[in-house]
């Protein structure tokens, strides 16, 4: 059986069964959340990224988010993830040779925020990443029964309340770096407490807080949505939090799209998920929201072109200035990207 990594990166023939003409192809897009990797016998590197970003939408910049690839071996403890930053910086340099294509404009790396030598680790990321190095993701995602999940998290229970972790988050704020979280919906209240504890650091909520729909959460979407709405409203009261809108086509979200005979189309996508998007925008406002792809993870369920068509259909309810913020402006501001 293929791993979810291989499944997500190698679905070209299946994804080609649902093709749509791009909506508003001249609208500029900054995709603030994608990965690159070469593992499990499957590669998704800059040419794979370009294959997706070149699907007809005007994707001009992207932000790479850590995913545990290309780590250094046999280095001092804590410094292995610097290898991922170095590799992605190299991919960004390669991309720069083709300025007409999407450019990797930012890197959100990994570091263990609890480490005593965190400052030195951050220095090492900055040394190899240069101006591309924008922040850290040390994922909070943890569940007491992940046996049904296709994507296994690396988090530990109680991390959001760990004093050393919070100390590390404050250091990010002092250095002008962002923090990205990946956690599950039942951890939203922990994240709210964390946001209030470190008001000086910009926290980026990935993937709506990952509402789960498999295992013990299967068949409970309405119940989860009701509680999630209240949590999001409370989280939006924390001015240091911004939100990424996307990343809910993962198998663990429970929609089962990756098992369909044909890939989902944009109308079906909107029908299934628009309420989540509209609630997030209502709570945070367009200037604190940014549409994301989460590719190639979500590639297991939906094509890049269809996804952005769906996002543009959702965004059509909002004024042009708000659309601009959600498709590019917020990402550029939060991550300090060139315009």
338: β partners: none
**For the chain, what percent of residues have pLDDT higher than 70?**
97
Q: Residue 2 above 60 pLDDT?
A: no
pLDDT in tens, 209-246: 999 999 999 999 999 999 999 999 999 999 999 999 99
Which value, to the nearest 10 degrees, does the dihedral of the CA atoms of residues 261, 267, 270, 273 take? -20
For tokens 């044909």, name the residue: 262
Domain 4-334 adopts which CATH fold?
A: TIM Barrel (3.20.20)
For tokens 């704020």, name the residue: 173
Q: Residue 187 above 70 pLDDT?
A: yes
CB 70 within 8 A of CB 77: no
DSSP 262: S
Question: Given pLDDT bands bounded at 50, 70 and 90, which one contains residue 4?
Answer: low
Average pLDDT over residues 136-152: 93
What confidence score (pLDDT) does residue 42 get?
A: 84
Average pLDDT over residues 287-309: 97
Average pLDDT over residues 158-187: 97
Q: Residue 120 above 80 pLDDT?
A: yes
CB 315 within 8 A of CB 327: yes
Question: Given pLDDT bands bounded at 50, 70 and 90, which one contains residue 169?
Answer: very high
pTM beyond cutoff 0.95: yes
Q: Residue 1 above 50 pLDDT?
A: no
Tokens, residue 18: 């649902």
Tokens, residue 277: 């998007």
Q: Residue 133 above 60 pLDDT?
A: yes
pLDDT in tens, 30-60: 999 999 998 777 889 999 999 999 999 999 9
Instruction: Report the distance separating Cα 154 and Cα 28, nearest Å.
Output: 34
Question: Given pLDDT bands bounded at 50, 70 and 90, which one contains residue 6?
Answer: low
Average pLDDT over residues 296-316: 97
3-class secondary-structure state, position 215: helix
pLDDT in tens, 250-285: 999 999 999 999 999 999 999 999 999 999 999 999
Annotated domain spans of the chain:
4-334
CB 153 within 8 A of CB 181: no
200-211 burial string, b = 16+ CB within 10 Å, else e?
ebbbbbbbbbbb
Q: Residue 127 above 50 pLDDT?
A: yes
Tokens, residue 25: 């192809």
Calculate the average pLDDT of the chain. 95
Residue 339 vs residue 284, higher pLDDT = 284
Q: Residue 5 above 70 pLDDT?
A: no
CB 146 within 8 A of CB 121: no
Q: Residue 134 above 80 pLDDT?
A: yes
User: What count of Cα atoms within 13 Å lies in the side-chain half-sphere of residue 73?
Assistant: 1
Q: How many residues does the chain have?
A: 339
Cis peptide before 296 (omega within 30 of 0): yes
CB 296 within 8 A of CB 34: yes
What confidence score (pLDDT) does residue 7 get?
A: 67
pLDDT in tens, 57-93: 999 999 999 999 999 999 999 999 999 999 999 999 9
Tokens, residue 124: 């090492």
Identify the H or E element spanning 310. Answer: helix 304-315
CB-based contacts of 2, cutoff 8 Å, min separation 6: 10
44: β partners: 37
Strand ranges inside the chain, DSSP E: 28-34, 37-39, 42-44, 58-65, 103-109, 133-137, 178-181, 203-205, 241-245, 289-291
Q: What angle do CA 182, 188, 189 make, to 5 degrees?
A: 140
């Amino acid at each position: 059986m293929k791993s979810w990594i291989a499944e997500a990166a190698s679905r070209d023939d299946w994804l080609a069964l649902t093709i749509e003409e791009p909506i508003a192809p001249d609208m500029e897009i900054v995709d603030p959340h994608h990965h690159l990797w070469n593992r499990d016998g499957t590669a998704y590197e800059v040419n794979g990224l370009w294959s997706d970003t070149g699907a007809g939408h005007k994707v001009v910049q992207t932000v790479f988010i850590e995913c545990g690839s290309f780590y250094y071996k046999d280095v001092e403890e804590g410094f292995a993830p610097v290898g991922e930053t170095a590799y992605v910086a190299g991919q960004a340099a390669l991309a720069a040779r083709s300025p007409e294509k999407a450019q990797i404009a930012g890197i959100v790396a990994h570091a263990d925020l609890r480490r005593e030598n965190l400052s030195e680790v951050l220095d090492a990321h900055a040394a190899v990443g240069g101006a591309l190095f924008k922040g850290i993701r040390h994922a909070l995602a943890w569940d007491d029964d992940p046996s049904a999940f296709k994507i296994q998290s690396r988090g530990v229970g109680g991390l959001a309340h760990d004093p050393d972790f919070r100390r590390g988050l404050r250091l990010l704020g002092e250095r002008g770096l962002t923090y990205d979280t990946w956690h599950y919906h039942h951890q939203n209240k922990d994240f709210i407490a964390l946001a209030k504890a470190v008001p000086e650091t910009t926290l980026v909520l990935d993937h709506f807080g990952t509402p789960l729909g498999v295992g013990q959460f299967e068949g409970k979407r309405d119940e989860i949505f009701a509680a999630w709405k209240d949590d999001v409203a409370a989280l939006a009261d924390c001015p240091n939090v911004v939100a990424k809108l996307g990343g809910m086509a993962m198998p663990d979200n429970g929609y089962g799209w990756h098992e369909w005979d044909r890939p989902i189309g944009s109308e079906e996508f909107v029908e299934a998920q628009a309420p989540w998007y509209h609630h997030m925008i209502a709570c945070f406002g367009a200037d604190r929201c940014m549409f994301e792809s989460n590719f190639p993870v979500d590639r297991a369920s939906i094509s890049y072109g269809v996804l952005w068509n769906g996002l543009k259909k959702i965004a059509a309810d909002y004024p042009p200035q708000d659309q601009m913020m959600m498709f590019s402006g917020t990402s550029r501001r939060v991550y300090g990207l060139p315009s």
